[in-house]
A and B are shown apart, each in its own frame.
Chain A
Amino acid sequence: MNAMNTLPKYIVTLCDGPTCMHQRSKTLKAVIEEELKKRGLYETTSLVLSGCLGMCNKSPIVIVNPGYTIYGGVSPEDIPEIVEEHLVKGKPVARLAIEEDYLYNRFYRVFGDVAFFGQQMRIALRNCGIMDPESLDDYLSLRGYEALAKVLTDMSPAQVISEVKKSGLRGRGGAGFLTGLKWENTARQKSDEKFVICNADEGDPGAFMDRSTIEGDPHTVIEGMIIGGYAIGAHRGFVYIRAEYPLAIRRLRKAIDEARREGLLGTTILDSAFSFDIEIKLGAGAFVCGEETALIHSIEGRRGMPRPRPPYPSQKGLWGRPTLINNVETWANIPVIVLDGADWFTTIGTEKSKGTKVFALAGNVQNTGLVEVPMGTTLREIIYDIGGGIPDNKKFKAVQTGGPSGGCLPEQYLDTRVDYESLQAAGSIMGSGGMIVMDEGVCMVNIAKFFLEFTQNESCGKCTPCREGTKRMLEILQRITKGEGIEGDIEKLERLGTMISKASLCGLGQSAPNPVLSTLRHFRAEYEEHIKNKRCPAGTCVDLLSYTITDGCVGCGLCRKKCPVGAISGEPKQRHVIDQAACINCGQCYAACKFNAIQKS
């Protein structure tokens, strides 16, 4: 990084998330540096690598501030133009700028000014992409640790708790328990020692909100945790983070070291009487450790198997002491609530769900990436307005929220508002924020099977319903997708699913049947089609497919050559035929045919 004596004229932010990294953001950086030096701008421009900005489909991303111009799909050849036109002449390059700036309408601009409300509103992710995540100074310049200072000087622990309670903030990790109540419960316990934990064991397939938050703005999590520690009377905090996130771990470690160096962690924080420090604890690849008691066991060095509650972690948590556990996004909200007040926070969102929620939008949708929206935004707004709708002119079929614990909602639920109650009423859940859009080419039985495979693989094996029950459900689904479903399978799925969700020990087991139960509720006909007619309407269940060659065949013979089992025959320039008995439905002919003459059904 270039050393700077004066304030930079421009801040150029390069997204360094995995997707952009793949698109050679590092090369870009080198080219930019070179161009800056050439033009003598190196000393007056700050070049920053940020965490994932959440616009993966337009990568690589370069942002120039002030002005907040976003460039997408930037190639090294574009750099001279950007530097020359924008940084020298002050004229953004319209050709490369991403016009649909709705992705980045944030609540907080650089100095916390109230910008206009767009479809998105960034509270948890407010600094992501704005600041250099490895710079404490950057964070401080964005009102970082101001909330902590306020708490330590002006507020009693009880006042902090009351503010958080008043804000109506609910746990962003999935269950949506009232955060303030959790704090109050933990604060009320008498104990020689208490602990604070940040749950960063983000495990839902397709979700990367926590990772982006920590990679993009690690200090906000640290600040939130210190405030939490102050409120409940804890002096030690732990961040339990997936070992699979090396960059996030590195940045967090750096942020903790820096905070410690500056007296923001350690003894007598900001010259107050309060002491607090944070340790990082690594996970090791177990989804179930997102469950509070399993997470605690994991920190204690045990198998991550949940235990019955009560006692709750707020009563008996880590090493038997009262422990406050919140997830990354929840912690990231705390400094904002403290600084701007619960009254303001409660103006955002719905009656029972306040504030915003970050989603990882993925699947068959135009714009994929992280979006943060006020609670109460409809699914349609997220998928169509922010996400840009379904690509390739395909039809929307379902949206899956809540990851493997959630459910799939069909088109008629698109106007459902995203808040804890509405999603639950529709048969899904908020979860930690995965949002997968599926088009008509996705088979709902197959997708239910996919999620169940996941939970089954991640089941800790402790309680019978989850360990044995999900296995049996999976076997039934495997049968159905293979065309071996029998009458009564649906009833068995429902019977097992209901029992598992009511009798399992922990949240993982209790929610494991959700993807099946919700698809059964909304897409029952698709199941029946598989079972009764041995047909997969979406055309994805390999064993239920059949390929036929239509009149469009010109007899080029490519399919015959591609067929791995020699099931295709035909004379050159004559229409070819597939021997259905020999065909293994691999689909290679279908993919190979240049004339769209092979039909899948």
Chain B
Amino acid sequence: MAVAGDQNIQTLQEYMRGLKSTGAPCSHLIAILHKTQELYGYLPREAMDEIALTMDIPRAHIWGVATFYHYFNLTRPGRHSIALCMGTACFVKGAADILEAIKNKLNIDFGETTGDGLFTLQQARCLGACGLAPVMMINDKIYGSLTPEKAVAILDDYASREKKGVLHTGNV
């Protein structure tokens, strides 16, 4: 939960102060939302309210932009974000089977987070690693030439390492 006056809000306000005087306030909106997501991992309502009041951009407008662009998360993501590439090359090479396997394993669909807050599953358009298709990216690491079994094994590995507490992630 974002609390007014917290460190992130202050960072965000400073960031906005730097932008406010240059050009139309609205033209900075997407950059500000990127910054917000960088700070929080998603776009908390309190932060969007702060943006509205500081930049004089109506809330409904900010909400419209935040929900239009799929890059923005509107809920707090899991500790590890899985981006499964559904680009053409990956699709042709069986990304749908990988998806099925991940869905069965984690019981979540695209855009959802597991109950234990460990994984968020996202759909990627093309990770640009078509030579390794099908691929998925967990946090910033690419896993290629996947099979359903391999994908599940990778997730198991994350989960077990997480249990042992040896995993660090840049996401949180």
The chain A residues found within 8 Å of chain B, CB to CB, are 17-19, 21-22, 52, 56-57, 59, 203-208, 211, 243-245, 281-287, 298-305, 319, 360, 362-364, 368-369, 400, 403, 434, 436, 438, 442, 447, 450-451, 454, 460
Contact = CB atoms under 8 A, between A and B. Distances in A.
Nearest to A305: B68
B87 A206 contact: yes
A285 B133 CA distance: 21
A302 B29 CA distance: 8
A362 B72 contact: no
Contact of A284 (B71, B128, B130): B71
Which residue, B30, B34, B131, has most C-beta atoms of chain A within 10 A?
B131
A217 B28 CA distance: 27
B131 A285 contact: no
Nearest to A436: B88
Nearest to B104: A564
Given A244-B125, A286-B69, 16 more contacts: A22-B142, A56-B132, A205-B87, A206-B88, A206-B126, A243-B34, A283-B69, A284-B34, A284-B69, A284-B71, A287-B125, A301-B27, A305-B68, A362-B133, A436-B92, A451-B88
A354 B25 CA distance: 42
Interface residues of B, number: 37
B88 A18 contact: no
Contacts of A284: 30, 33-34, 69-72
Nearest to A282: B34
B74 interface: no
B89 interface: yes
Interface string B52-84: 000001000100110011111000000000000
Which residue, B30, B57, B61, B142, has most C-beta atoms of chain A within 10 A?
B30
B128 A211 contact: yes
Contacts of A208: 126, 128, 130
A17 B128 contact: yes
Query: By DSSP majority rule, is chain B's interface helix, strand, loop, or mixed?
Result: helix
B70 A56 contact: no
Given A22-B142, A303-B64, A303-B65, A285 B27 contact: no
B131 A450 contact: no
B32 to A, nearest CB: 9
B108 interface: no
A18 B127 contact: yes
Contacts of A447: 92
Shortest Cβ-Cβ A-B pairs, 10 listed: A56-B131, A284-B69, A285-B71, A301-B29, A206-B88, A205-B87, A301-B26, A362-B89, A284-B71, A285-B70
Contacts of A207: 126
Nearest to A208: B128
Nearest to B88: A206
Interface in B108-138: 124-133
A458 to B, nearest CB: 9
Contacts of A368: 89, 130-131
A495 B69 CA distance: 31
Which residue, A22, A299, A305, A436, has most C-beta atoms of chain B within 10 A?
A22
Given A206-B89, A369-B131, A19 B30 contact: no
Contacts of A22: 129, 132, 142, 144
B88 A450 contact: yes
Contacts of B126: 204-208
Contacts of B88: 205-206, 362-363, 400, 403, 434, 436, 450-451
Interface of B: 24-31, 33-34, 57, 61, 64-65, 68-72, 86-89, 91-92, 124-133, 142, 144
14 contacts: A18-B127, A19-B130, A56-B129, A56-B132, A208-B126, A243-B71, A283-B71, A285-B69, A285-B70, A301-B27, A305-B68, A319-B24, A368-B130, A454-B86
B100 to A, nearest CB: 9
B125 A203 contact: yes
Nearest to B61: A302
A477 to B, nearest CB: 14
A360 to B, nearest CB: 7
Contacts of A360: 130
Contacts of B72: 284-285
Contact of A302 (B65, B71, B87): B65
Contacts of A362: 88-89, 92, 130, 133
Nearest to B92: A363
B132 A19 contact: yes
B125 A205 contact: yes
A18 B92 contact: no
Nearest to A360: B130
Contacts of B70: 284-286
Contacts of A17: 128-129
A283 B125 CA distance: 14
Given A285-B70, A301-B65, A438 B30 contact: no
A19 B65 contact: no
Which residue, B72, B89, B144, has most C-beta atoms of chain A within 10 A?
B89
Contacts of A438: 92
Contacts of A450: 88, 91
Which residue, A244, A299, A447, has most C-beta atoms of chain B within 10 A?
A244
Contact of B131 (A19, A305, A460): A19
A173 B25 CA distance: 30
B15 to A, nearest CB: 14
B16 to A, nearest CB: 13
A134 B161 CA distance: 37
A363 B129 contact: no
Nearest to B94: A540
B92 A205 contact: no
Contacts of A285: 69-72, 125
A525 to B, nearest CB: 21
Given A301-B29, A303-B65, A363-B92, A19 B125 contact: no
A219 B61 CA distance: 36
Nearest to B143: A22
Contacts of B71: 243-244, 283-285
Contact of B92 (A56, A298, A319, A364): A364
A21 B124 CA distance: 18
Nearest to A246: B140
B124 to A, nearest CB: 8
A451 B71 CA distance: 20
A211 B70 CA distance: 20
Nearest to B141: A22
B139 to A, nearest CB: 13
A434 B34 CA distance: 28
Contact of A442 (B29, B92, B132, B133): B92
Contacts of A204: 126
Which residue, B28, B30, B88, has most C-beta atoms of chain A within 10 A?
B88
